[in-house]
Structure 1
C-alpha cells in the first residue's frame, strides 16, 4: 500500500513533524487516523506501510511506538465473574 493511501489525511506524516509531541498526543492522532481509513482498507497493511516509511528512520519517536503497538494483536478477553470469581477460585 502506498503511503498516500495508508495516511489519506496526512495525520501520521504531520505527527512526525511536531516537535515535542507526546505519546498521549500520538495515541489521539492514531485514533483519528484509524477512523479516517477508507472502509475496507487493510489496517495492518496500512500500518506496515507507515512503519516502513516513517518509523524505520525514527524508531524512538512516540508515533513509531504507537504504530508498532498497533500491530500487536489484542489478547482474547477472559471471562470475569460468575461463581468461580465470587468463590475466589
Structure 2
C-alpha cells in the first residue's frame, strides 16, 4: 500500500517480511524518512503508521514508537564560538 505517509510502501512491506530484525527496521525507517514529502509532518505520519500497523508485535512498531520519542540531548552544542562567546562587532 502506498500513500502520502508511506510513498514507496516501505513501512507496509517491512511488516510483511518474516524474521526482519530491529536493525533492518531502523534502516527501512531511515529510508522512509528520506523520501517523505517535505510538506508532510513526520510526527503525524508516524502516528498514522502506528494506527495502521502498530497493534502488531513487530520490530517496526518499536522503531516507529522510538521515532515519536523526543531525541536525547547529548553533549554540548554550539562549537568553539559558543564556548568563547560571540565576537564583538
- Say whether the fold is shared (TM-score over 0.5): yes
Unaligned ranges ≥5, structure 2: 78-89
Q: Which residue of 1 aligns with 2:45?
A: 46
**Cα distance in 2 between the residues matched to 1:77 and 1:54:** 31
- 1:56-67 map, 5 Å: 56=55, 58=56, 60-67=57-64
Q: Which has the higher contact order (CA 8 A, sep 6+)?
A: 1
Provide TM-score, normalisation by structure 2: 0.79
Provide TM-score, normalisation by structure 1: 0.79
State the superposition RMSD in angstroms. 1.6
Q: Equivalent residue of 2:4, what SS?
A: helix
- 1:1-89 map, 5 Å: 4-56=3-55, 58=56, 60-79=57-76
Q: Equivalent residue of 1:27, what SS?
A: helix
How many residues end up aligned between the 2 structures? 76
CA-to-aligned-CA distance 1:46-78 (integer Å, 9 cap, x gap): 00000000012x0x2000000001000112333
